[in-house]
Structure 1
Amino acid sequence: MWNVWRTVLEENEKLARARLAAVEVFQQQIADEAKFLRQHKLNVAKKCTDTLAQAHKELQTTVIDVDKTKKLYFDEEHTAHDVRDKAKDIEEKLKKKKGSFFQSITSLQKNSAKVSSRRDQLEEKSTGARNDYLLSIAAANAHQNRYFLVELQNCMLSMEAAVYEKVSEFLTFMGRTELLTCSATQHSFGKIRDQAQQLTRTTTCNACTCTTLC
């Protein structure tokens, strides 16, 4: 019995040392590395957040430009439309060679030339404003695509900071270490079990007799 009890004490001492060694390994290989990884991730996240905020600000500026060019185009087109209708009305009167009581054909012709010139100028301005509006839409779409498909994706990848790989490495190492510790525990208690199964009153008495005789 005393031999079995001594084995229990010895094996428990071995297991305690093994677990202490495992804790030290966890501290060095996982805990310290995890702290460094966390700080690194925070630094990268701050940098990426600043970069993303700047990209978002630039995208917002592009959208504001779209609104500005849209308003300018609508204003120019509205003005051109009014002058266009006025010029059309004068042209219709000239075709019919019909003036008013207070307006002669000559006056209509002069007014038509003036309005036509004004119409051409406004048409040109409206066309330019429309082109600017279409270009701003194209630029905004391209900028938005770049924001979502490039800048945002790059920030997300950078913010991960290889966390998945590191966590996988930590857990793999932890599992392997625990398996070794469990294997040592199984071996120790298997040894205790084997000795305990051989323990009987007869063997104990014989051991005591031998000890007394010695």
Structure 2
Amino acid sequence: MIRLTTNIIVGLTFFLALVWLLRKAYSYYSRLPLPPGPLKLPLIGHLLQIPSSREHEVYRLWGEQYGSCSGIIHVETPGVSLLVINNAKAASDLLEKRSRIYSDRPPAPMAVDLMGWNWNFGLLPYSDAWRSRRRVFLQSFNAQAAKLFRPHETKSAHLLLTRLRESPENFLVHLRYHAVRTIMSVAYGIEVKGENDPWVALVEAAVKPVIDAIVPGAFLV
């Protein structure tokens, strides 16, 4: 039994090493050099380094450390290769001026395929399904239709400014409440009374698992 277990471990180790070498060879010969990034580990890449909270701060620090003047860095987890843009000019050049090339989103199989958020075109790749959902969305949320929402937005903006003046140290709470209040008012006609309103808790409970699910490397899929 011990000998059999040892053979299995040796065979599995050899197989994983072979897969890693083949991936390295394929990556070297099949694509252009990628932007710099933190030192990655064999097989798992940056899986243990990908931040799960305050991502913007970590990526900004990496952009300053590895991204030179462009601020663009590369991170990789098993099956996922990501470019992180920390520079406004680079973001405009790539995502606006070259939108035909880069108008896409990274796959989110946990949220889209397993959690049932395939109806949300904000998570879908650039495709016919994305275009059809966006077309329906713009029927009610285009520039002309948005004028109908100005009373809701104005009321929420006044309330937000009042709260920021009274307790500026709680700005994150105020911004979160402002976003929920505006969306619930515009989309459903529901008046949210305060940050302890049950609707606020319900929205946050619904959104948090999705946010966790789209973090690169958070799940094996």
TM-score (norm. length: structure 1)? 0.20
Larger radius of gyration: 1
TM-score (norm. length: structure 2)? 0.19
More strand by share: 2
More helix by share: 1
